[in-house]
Amino acid sequence: MQLPKSFYESRRLTTLVENYTSYTMDEVAMHVFETHKIAQQVHLQFNTPVLASMLQGKKIMHLRDKQSFDFLPGESLILPANELMRIDFPEAKTDNATRCLAMEISEERIARVVQRMNEQMQRTDGREWNLMDYNFHFTNDGGIYQILQRLVYLFTENHPSKELFVTNMVQELIIRILQANSRKAYSAQSKSLASTHKLAYVIEYIKENIQRPISNEELAAKAYMSTSNFYKVFKNEMGCSPVEFINQERITKATQLLQNPDFNLTEVFMACGFTNRSYFNRVFKRTKNSTPKAYRDRFMAL
């Protein structure tokens, strides 16, 4: 993610560890944190819920009731109000700062968006949308990435309608994060939920048949829905189309197989249900920002 020129023009570097530049509006604030030297056990806490998204470099996060983990570019983390973070910066340098975006959003703003979702975006199992699982760590999909890039631009721009633009983008961001949370929960629990939840059953079916072509018509039949209604319901709750979800599952499996030197690249893409090598390469690079070969080479070098 690129920071605009206006950010560098406005920011002041006063400390080498977690130097921050802040932009505030009603019920929402954006902070860009920069660290220019290796540091350990740096404490950080916000009094409102926050979306943290890595821009550059690497952090090691230590959270309450959660095993420590690497926090890398392209990944985000949802934290509740008053959650104490303990952070290590193993790679920060003077000429290569570790950078992270922190977006504070008031609980009142989130609650209003959730209420609107429950009024207009009913879920298939009758459950209501709720505040996302906190300490939710995920890889940004294309939609979330574009929103964050746009918000960085809007917050640093001097425009008379800036607050209105930000309000609309934050609403979309909350919706997409809740959908990503739903997608991850269904995927992780598809086997145990398959007997009681239509979408979980469909997702488990996708996983069991990932090595072959799967059509929307086939999935709709499994859900006992028309194809058009199934597509609408799936995208409404999961935040992506069935084809996009299938490709995500295939890339997840591909990353696992690429870590095994016993599989050559042809065997990998065929085992994941891709029909040709070039399409596999395009989807993999779009998802992982790396070619399959480069991903394997980097993993083998570790």
Pair (148, 138) in one structural domain: yes
Q: Give residue 286's pLDDT.
A: 84
- Work out how many domains the chain is built from and give that number: 2
Q: What is the pLDDT of residue 302?
A: 59
HSE on the CB side for 34, CA within 13 Å?
19
206 shares its domain with 173: no
CATH code of the domain in which 203 resides: 1.10.10.60
- Does 225 share its domain with 203? yes
Do 194 and 184 share a domain, yes or no? no
Residue where one domain finishes, among candidates 173, 188, 203 = 188
Residues 238, 245 contacting (CB under 8 angstroms):
yes
Residue type at 301 in one-letter notation: A
Residue-number span of the structural domain to which 291 is assigned: 190-301
- Give dist(CA 250, CA 248) in Å, integer: 5
Q: How high is the pLDDT of residue 161?
A: 93
Q: Rounded to 5 degrees, what are φ and ψ at 219? A: -70, -40
Q: Which of 157, 188, 219 is the last residue of a domain?
A: 188
DSSP 49-82: -EEEEEEES-EEEEETTEEEEEE-TTEEEEE-TT
Chain CA centroid to CA 205, Å: 24
Domain endpoint, select from 167, 188, 209: 188
- pLDDT under 70: residue ranges of the chain: 132-133, 301-302
Please check whether residues 116 and 178 belong to one and the same domain: yes
> Does 135 share its domain with 159?
yes
What are the pLDDT digits (tens) for 101-155? 999 999 999 999 999 999 998 888 778 898 766 788 988 888 899 999 999 999 9
Say what the pLDDT of residue 254 is: 93
